[in-house]
Amino acid sequence: MKRIFYLFLVVLISSCAKLPVETIALTDAIIDEGKRMHELNLSLLNKMFDEKREKIDAFIKNEYTPKFLEEFTARVPADTDYEREFPNMIQSIIPQINSRRDKMQSAMESQRIKLVTKLNADYKVFEEASMELRRLIESGVKVDEERKKALNHVKNLTQNRIDLNQIDTELDKFIIKSGDVSGNIIELNNSINSLLNDK
């Protein structure tokens, strides 16, 4: 979407001072399409995170809990009366498992909010540049200063892309990673920040 907008803007800026009336309609169509694409991006991102939340729950249930129980049982003294101690064991085990799940889910939600904020910020830049372009077309102003300002907006737009495929990969790595959950959360945060800062 941003590439189309960029090409459209370059054509307009390099064209003559008199623009056809249809150019405003085309600009409005691009603005509407930008809004639609933004809403689709948000929907896709939220759907991805919904799936990852389910994946975390499945990981906790099918992989983490069995391994945790196995390790816990191995540490229980051989002469333990399981029937008598079972309620105490459950009270000890469940909070630890839930804590792991809650930390992972909380980290996931934190990343979702960060990415939604970034998408919204990118869309705001696009929207402002689009409206500025529309005003420029309406007024018919074609001085060098206006050209430079418009090109600077385009330059900013092309540097703010989010690679959802790479984010998907990083989230999958986080879900299946064993070890210290706090360290994993920090690593996920660093990975997402790196993806945002590289763009």
Asked whether residue 184 is domain-assigned, the answer is yes
Question: Per residue in 68-105, pLDDT tens?
Answer: 988 888 888 888 787 788 788 888 899 999 999 999 99
Query: What band does 180 get if pLDDT is binned at 50, 70 and 90?
Result: confident
Query: What band does 157 get if pLDDT is binned at 50, 70 and 90?
Result: low
Question: Per residue in 109-153, pLDDT tens?
Answer: 999 999 999 999 999 988 988 888 888 777 764 444 555 565 555
Asked whether residue 126 is domain-assigned, the answer is yes
Asked whether residue 139 is domain-assigned, the answer is yes
Q: Provide the CB-side half-sphere exposure for 13 (13 A, CA).
A: 20
Asked whether residue 119 is domain-assigned, the answer is yes
Asked whether residue 170 is domain-assigned, the answer is yes
* Residue 17 reports pLDDT greater than 50: no
Domain that holds residue 189: 2-8+20-198
Asked whether residue 13 is domain-assigned, the answer is no
Dihedrals φ, ψ of 15, to 5°?
-85, 180
* Residue 5 reports pLDDT greater than 80: no
Burial status of residue 170 (CB atoms within 10 A of its CB: 0-12, 13-18, 19 or more): middle
Map 145-166 to HEC letters: HHHHHHHHHHHHHCCCCCCHHH
Asked whether residue 14 is domain-assigned, the answer is no
> What is the structure's pLDDT at 143?
45
Asked whether residue 15 is domain-assigned, the answer is no
Average pLDDT rounded to a whole number, residues 62-71: 91
Please tell me the pTM assigned to this model. 0.64
Q: Round to whole Å and give the CA distance between 110 and 162.
A: 16
Three-state DSSP state, 159: coil
* Residue 61 reports pLDDT greater than 60: yes
Question: Per residue in 160-179, pLDDT tens?
Answer: 565 666 777 888 888 888 77
The total domain count for the chain is: 1
